[in-house]
Amino acid sequence: MKVVAFGASNSKASINKKLATYAASMVEGAQVEVLDLNDYPLPLFGEDKEAEIGQPQPAKSFVDKLGSADAIVVSLAEHNGSYTAAYKNLFDWASRINREVFQQKPVIYLATSPGPGGAASVLASAVGSAQFFGADVKGSLSIPSFYDNFDLEAGVLKSEVIQQQLAQTMSTLFTAE
């Protein structure tokens, strides 16, 4: 099984990229490919820009990467209660290539932030609209207070309770075709 994972952020030190990477590593026997949104540079989406340049290659590459996956793990960063501009921009371009951006793949949605809210607002938004974008949502989990709960040096969760919650969430992929 190939798992494609990414943090929905363009921050070089993205905690959501770290979480997505860790979560994907829990899928036993899977080949994991971690995407970095910085590898998909795109101008700001607008219909006029689209009329001018068509479907840009980075957006096509992103859609193709998702299409190559047997399962997708995305961890959402929250900016002002919603998606980061970088992810929303990439998503908008991708949706014009294939409205079903997730191409009916099994998807795990995660989200984390340094604060107690754990990016739960953006997570709820993503899960709520997932069906319109071809995501077969298998599970979702918000992890609050990332720096308290994640050992950055070891790259693992410190909290046994959250570790179990994440393992439970990820286990829904073990049976995915």
Ligand X SMILES: Cc1cc2nc3c(=O)[nH]c(=O)nc-3n(C[C@H](O)[C@H](O)[C@H](O)COP(=O)(O)O)c2cc1C
> Where along the sequence are the contacts to ligand X (CB under 6 A)?
7, 9, 11, 14-16, 77-81, 113-115, 117, 119
Q: Least distance (Å) from ligand X to the CB of residue 81?
A: 5
Whichever of 32 and 103 has its CB closer to ligand X, that residue is 32
User: In the complex, what is the shortest distance from the CB of residue 8 to ligand X, in angstroms, rounded to a whole number?
Assistant: 8
State the minimum distance, in angstroms, from the CB of residue 18 to ligand X. 8
Q: Cα–Cα distance between 168 and 157 in angstroms, integer?
A: 14
* Closest distance to ligand X from the beta carbon of 20 (Å): 9
- Comparing CB distances to ligand X, the nearer of 87 and 102 is 87
CB atoms inside a 10 Å sphere around CB 127: 17
Secondary structure (DSSP) of 42-74 = -PPP-HHHHHHH-S-HHHHHHHHHHHT-SEEEE
Nearer to ligand X, 79 or 96 (CB): 79
- Which CB, 13 or 51, lies closer to ligand X? 13
Please give the order of strands across the beta sheet that includes 31-35.
31-35, 2-8, 71-76, 105-112, 135-143
CA angle (128 as vertex; 125, 129 as ends), nearest 5: 90
